[in-house]
Amino acid sequence: MTVRVRFAPSPTGYLHIGSARTALFNWLYARSRGGKFLLRVEDTDLQRSTDESTRSILEGLAWLGISDYDEEIVFQSRNADKHRAAALRLVREGKAYRDFTPKGERADANVKQEIAERARTAAEGSGVDHRANPYRDLPPEESESRAEGGEPFAVRLKVSPEGQTRFADAVYGEQERAHSEIEDLVLLRSGDLSPLYNLSVVVDDIEMGITHVIRGQDHLTNTHKQILIYEALGAQVPTFAHLPLILAPNKAKLSKRKHGEVVSLTTYRDRGFIPAAFRNYLALLGWSPGEENKELMSLEELVSLFSLEGVHRSNAVFNFSDTDPRQWTDQKALWMNAEYVRTMPLEELLPMVKAELGSAGLWQAEYEGGRAGWFGRTVELIRQRFITLKDFSGQGRAYFADDFEYDPAAVAKNLKKDPALRELLPGLAERVGAVEPWTPEGTEKALRDFADEKGVKAGLLINASRTALTGQAVGPSMFEVFDVVGRDASARRLRAAADLV
RNA sequence: GGCGCGUUGGUGUAGUCGGCUAACACGCCGCCCUCUCAAGGCGGAGACCACGGGUUCGAGUCCCGUACGCGCUACCA
């Protein structure tokens, strides 16, 4: 039997990193088992679902490298008739029943409270016992005629009061739940008979031939209800694999309202992450290859190493600080991205740098033409200490443009430190401008000779040059910088910097 | 309230059949390298493996209980 999995987001917002990880795990599982990866958009909540959101989710997945769905995308809202038919069939078979109880209003905000409250009164014996629903055993004929008479009804699954459902979760192991814990769940809403989540999911998964349901742990307990529906429908129950949740630093649920943009996948794209790096990081949240315990993994390695057995059961904390901008997201994610930036094949990085420079208005066609060699060398030189793609247009701006800013701290440290630089810099400019041939060795010799002549330390001139040429206090080996910035620009910037002393 | 799931340094994790003086990565600190900062190399701080019992010659690993966290419990998804 070939593996068939699906990722089923509801399009009510951007792609949450937790959902992105669920999608990734599904995808990895499919690819590692030679299976099919499908996508189903759960847009049954018409109020909150938007096309915009669907588009953004698709975009996010594509950015992660997941755009190879093996079949047409399924839109759940289009299957409502099938869902309804399935429930009505169960009514006919006596596995579900019409509940003519008037629909009660409930305030969404207090649901949890209400649930606890109801449970408490039920325990005292004064509450509503769904098992005692008067319509549960209504004679079929009477149920039928009342329905035909136009009386509104909801459809509930008839859950046997005895026994239990059980299943072996591929991650959490044997799960068991007594039927007495499960009420007769509503399948179809009263009035318009629109299908509810648990029904829709099951019917669609059956229809799509899903063999493995890989999803967040928040669905673990409800799985029993879904199994009941599978069984009533006479369908084969798939294998379930629930994934641990991704939590905020205070172990609360990660939410947009409380945690802002860190939870949105597109943030990572917009802030200069390398897709492969973020994917690699995401894969490690709640999963590890075990034994080897390695962390930097290529897509191929991820696919070959991935297994449901390696997924763990405890929730993972996504660590970040909302006060320290340097820790705007998990430090390990940042570290991993830097690792990718400096070690990935240059030819794969170049197009990304091009895009970044392009959006910053720094791209020039000749970087791909006559100056392609120079461009590659420059990127290779500066990538070593960059963290994100943004750095190429930020700290790296001076390598691609003349109008860059001087970091005040760098100016104070390297230029204002010694007033003598006011005279030295123009002199150095002249020397450097005359270097022949223009090589790192050539400029180094010129600069060191000049320092000797003037009786100053070479370091003074080197550090001053760094700030003069790049606006920064830190950067690559200075003579490599001279080389890449070029003779004319170097001399020009050295002279200009004299005014900053 | 009920039911379920979880608990290894700040974070992510490793730890097969019980032998651990508890390993790795990120982060942090120091040293080396050095024209700066990274990277890299070396070293360090940081966990009595939530707590309490039990089984055992021996428990992070097995059993029971407690605490804490999370999830579900809806005519939401």
For A330-365, how does the pLDDT look when each residue is reduced to its tens digit (9 = 90+)?
Answer: 999 999 999 999 999 999 999 999 999 999 999 999
The token pair at A366 is: 């000749």
Contacts of residue A109, Cβ cutoff 8 Å, sequence gap at least 6: none
Q: What is the DSSP string of A28-46?
A: HHHHHTT-EEEEEE----T
Q: What was the pLDDT predicted at A131?
A: 65
pTM for the predicted model, two decimal places:
0.94
pLDDT at A12 over 70: yes
Give the active site residues of A.
256
The CA R_g of chain A, rounded to the nearest whole Å, is: 32
pLDDT at A243 over 90: yes
Assess whether A167 (CB) lies less than 7 A from strand B: no
From the CA of A339 to the C1' of B9: give the distance in Å: 24
Calculate ∠ Cα A37-A43-A47, nearest 5°: 160
As a dihedral over the C-alpha atoms of residue A103, residue A106, residue A108, residue A110, rounded to 10 degrees, the angle is -150
pLDDT at A129 over 70: no
Mean pLDDT for the stretch of residues A223-246: 96
Mean pLDDT for the stretch of residues A204-233: 96
Q: What was the pLDDT predicted at A46?
A: 82
Per the listing, tokens 């000749």 go with A366
Per the listing, tokens 């109801």 go with A118
- Give yes or no for a contact between A485 and A440, defined as CB atoms under 8 angstroms apart: no
pLDDT at A471 over 60: yes
Omega cis (within 30) before A476:
no
* Chain Cα centroid distance, residue A227: 30
For A105-116, how does the pLDDT look when each residue is reduced to its tens digit (9 = 90+)?
Answer: 665 556 777 776
Average pLDDT, chain A: 92
- Give yes or no for a contact between A496 and A468, defined as CB atoms under 8 angstroms apart: yes
Contacts of residue A460, Cβ cutoff 8 Å, sequence gap at least 6: A417, A418, A421, A424, A451
- Give yes or no for a contact between A157 and A202, defined as CB atoms under 8 angstroms apart: no
For A58-104, how does the pLDDT look when each residue is reduced to its tens digit (9 = 90+)?
Answer: 999 999 999 999 999 999 999 999 999 999 999 999 999 999 998 87
Mean pLDDT for the stretch of residues A120-138: 68
* d(C-alpha A62, C-alpha A41), whole Å: 15
From the CA of A217 to the C1' of B71: give the distance in Å: 7
Percent of chain A scoring above 90 in pLDDT = 83
DSSP E strands: which ranges in A12-141? 36-41, 74-75, 96-99
Task: Give per-residue burial for A346-370: e unless 16+ CB within 10 Å, then b.
Answer: eeebbebbbebbeebebbeeebeee
Inter-axis angle of helices A478-485 and A458-470, nearest 10: 40
Percent of chain A scoring above 70 in pLDDT = 96
Residue A203, classed as helix, strand or coil, is helix
Task: Give per-residue burial for A297-316: e unless 16+ CB within 10 Å, then b.
Answer: beeeebbebbebeebeeebb
From the CA of A294 to the C1' of B24: give the distance in Å: 8
The token pair at A47 is: 């109020």
The token pair at A74 is: 């399924």
Q: What was the pLDDT predicted at A481?
A: 97
Per the listing, tokens 């192991």 go with A173
What are residue A243's DSSP bridge partners?
A: A216
For A159-211, how does the pLDDT look when each residue is reduced to its tens digit (9 = 90+)?
Answer: 998 888 999 999 999 898 999 889 999 999 999 999 999 999 999 999 999 99
pLDDT bracket for residue A430 (50, 70, 90): very high
What ipTM does the predicted assembly reach? 0.94
Mean pLDDT for the stretch of residues A16-44: 96
- Quote the DSSP letter at residue A369: T
Q: Nearest nucleotide to A387 by CA–C1' distance?
A: B38
Question: In chain B, which nucleotides are within 7 Å of a protein Cβ?
Answer: 1-8, 10-15, 23-27, 35-39, 69-77
Residue type, A444: E
**Closest protein CA to C1' of nucleotide B11, residue:** A319
Mean pLDDT for the stretch of residues A281-290: 92
Q: What was the pLDDT predicted at A126?
A: 47
Residue count of chain A, please give it.
501
